Structure 1
Amino acid sequence: MLRHFRMFADYNRWANERVYAACAELSEDEFRADKGAFFSSAQRTLNHILVADRIWMKRLTGTGEAPEALDTVLFEDFDALEAARQVEDARIAAWLDGLTQDDLAKPLTYSNVAGTAHFTQPVAPVLTHIFNHQTHHRGQAHVILTALGKPSLVLDLLAFLRTDGRHWQ
């Protein structure tokens, strides 16, 4: 499972690079346009993914910034947001590189963002959630891009494994 999670960290980096490259082609108005997605725009959706990753990494590592609301806009500026995404993707991969297989079974106790509920569960399903969450919201970013008339993106895990991720097979 540890190798599987490391592969997902690499896949998420790859997919994030593609989404950000597509968003880099948007005008400022397009990037901020409310297209009816859960977080409305590409700008707010990409910020949300970063917010959630920072919250989870703070829970998992005890370090880093953890925003207090899931709709926090950490970065108004696209370039700053992209740079922060790259740093966070590298942080996730580096943290996973330091784990052992036994670490995946260790319990993680955390609170929801509101602090009203507390949970304890093994690290492995938490990691599954983190990567699934990124994929879910990248899909929303993809819908925003296509709603703006931009080309569809290939973000499939299998496409990654056939190209940049061949070493994971």
Structure 2
Amino acid sequence: MNGVAYFQRMARYNSWANQHVLDACACLAAGELEAPRVAFFPSMIKTLNHLLVADRLWLGRLAGTPERLALDSILHADFAEFRIAREAQDARIIAFTEQLDPETLASDLTYQSMLAGAYTLPREIVLAHMFNHQTHHRGQIHSMLIEAGTKPLAIDLVYYCLEVDA
């Protein structure tokens, strides 16, 4: 599998895993999304919003339309509104990867960090980071979901490949 195909698969997997997490969140009792939790962003809704913010920042940089958002911004406190925004962002990520070509993927990206100066990294590293960051915080949300009483989710990449993308 070439690099472009790999990132296209990762975009589809990312959306699939997010759907499973969103479905679990939708079944929670009132107040559970906002309840204080032990995590870097101390509730499920704050962690979900952080992921949306980060994806907007990273995709904006990659697409040449950078945004300026605080990493702890709450873009959507209402879960139904959040879900619509998350699904739209996942569709944008998939569309972005569908138009990638090997030359663009291999090129460097210079961007302005939210916390420091400018950096230059290969686009493939930035894109890999975006998906890795999603997985990192999605795991935290998964842990919070279990704490809230949901069943563990089978959202690893191998499950996606076995179910959808074999």
TM normalised by structure 1 equals 0.93
Alpha-carbon contact 1:51-1:67 (below 8 Å) kept: no
Q: Secondary structure at the match of 2:119?
A: strand
CA positional deviation for 1:61: 1.2
Residue of structure 1 in register with 2:74 after alignment: 73
Q: Secondary structure at the match of 1:113?
A: coil
Q: Secondary structure at the match of 2:151?
A: coil
Residue of structure 1 in register with 2:107 after alignment: 106
**Structure 2 CA distance for aligned equivalents of residues 34 and 117 of structure 1:** 33
- Name the aligned partner's letter for residue 131 of structure 1: F
Alpha-carbon contact 1:9-1:89 (below 8 Å) kept: yes
Alpha-carbon contact 1:54-1:67 (below 8 Å) kept: no
Q: Secondary structure at the match of 2:32?
A: helix
**Structure 1 CA distance for aligned equivalents of residues 122 and 64 of structure 2:** 16
Residue of structure 1 in register with 2:39 after alignment: 37
For structure 2, list consecutive stretches of 5 or more residues without a partner in the other structure.
Answer: none
Deviations 1:79-125 (A, max 9, x none): 111111110011011111111011111110011113x3110011000
CA positional deviation for 1:67: 4.4
Residue of structure 2 in register with 1:147 after alignment: 147
CA positional deviation for 1:28: 3.0
Residue of structure 2 in register with 1:10 after alignment: 12
TM normalised by structure 2 equals 0.95
Task: Give every structure 1 segment of 4 or more consecutive aligned residues whose post-TM-superposition deviation is greater than 4 Å.
Answer: none
Deviations 1:43-100 (A, max 9, x none): 0111010000000111111237x34211100001001111111100110111111110
- Identical columns (%): 44
**Structure 1 CA distance for aligned equivalents of residues 164 and 72 of structure 2:** 32
